[in-house]
Homo-oligomer: A and B are copies of this chain.
Amino acid sequence: MTTAKRDTYTPETLLSVAVQVFNERGYDGTSMEHLSKAAGISKSSIYHHVTGKEELLRRAVSRALDGLFAVLEEPGAVRGRAVERVEYVTRRTVEVLVGELPYVTLLLRVRGNTRTERWALERRREFDHQVADLLKAAAADGDLRADVDIRLATRLLFGMVNSLVEWYRPHPGTGPEQLADAVVHMAFDGLRTAR
């Protein structure tokens, strides 16, 4: 009975193993067999917790999405000038991304083959739209340079932020706060001293 050795498995520990395997093998390339081996529990034990791998995917990307959407409800995101709010959201998005790195990594790799994946893509787009709306409001306030193309700026901002999942690894001197500072300063103030 290999299933007995880890009867302390919780949905939470199973989820963290599943996310790791999804990120390594891709969601499409992951079978229940792979999950069972990685978790060290039988497939039937996994089915005790979830209906299948799609439920694990949904839980995992929900964790990332909930973290991101919660940012939009924080006081810094809803009060003050739009430009301050969008800087705040950018900073906090970086922090959520670093705090939930494997979950956000999975979310960003979702491609849309299943219902859950399409739902996740739709939610990501909704988040991007809300940030784009903040940028539009900041432009209307005259707080963005007149030549900024909002659509492009939103893409580039997320391009920069989302790239973190590919290269960021925590190390002394570059914690989430320093990283968030670097992103916000580069995106909003630029690297260059004033011309």
On A, residues with C-beta under 8 Å from B are 83, 135, 142-145, 147-149, 152-153, 155-160, 162-164, 166-168, 174, 178-179, 181-183, 185-195
CB neighbours (8 Å) of A160 from chain B are 156, 159-160, 163
User: In the bound complex, do residue B183 and residue A145 qualify as a contact, i.e. CB atoms below 8 Å apart?
Assistant: no
Distance (whole angstroms) from the CB of A39 to the closest CB of chain B: 25
Total identical chains: 2
Q: Flag if A163 contacts B159 (CB, 8 Å).
A: yes
Instruction: Tell me what chain A mostly uses at the interface: helix, strand, loop, or mixed.
Output: helix
Contacts A163-B163, A194-B194; is A186 near B142 (CB within 8 Å)? no
Contact (Cβ within 8 A) A191 B153? yes
Known: A156-B160, A163-B162, A166-B159. A192 touches B83 (CB 8 A): yes
Given A153-B186, A159-B160, output 6 extra A-B contacts at Cβ < 8 Å: A83-B192, A152-B182, A156-B182, A159-B159, A160-B160, A186-B190
Residue of B with least CB distance to A86: B191
- Cα–Cα, bound, A191→B186 (Å): 9
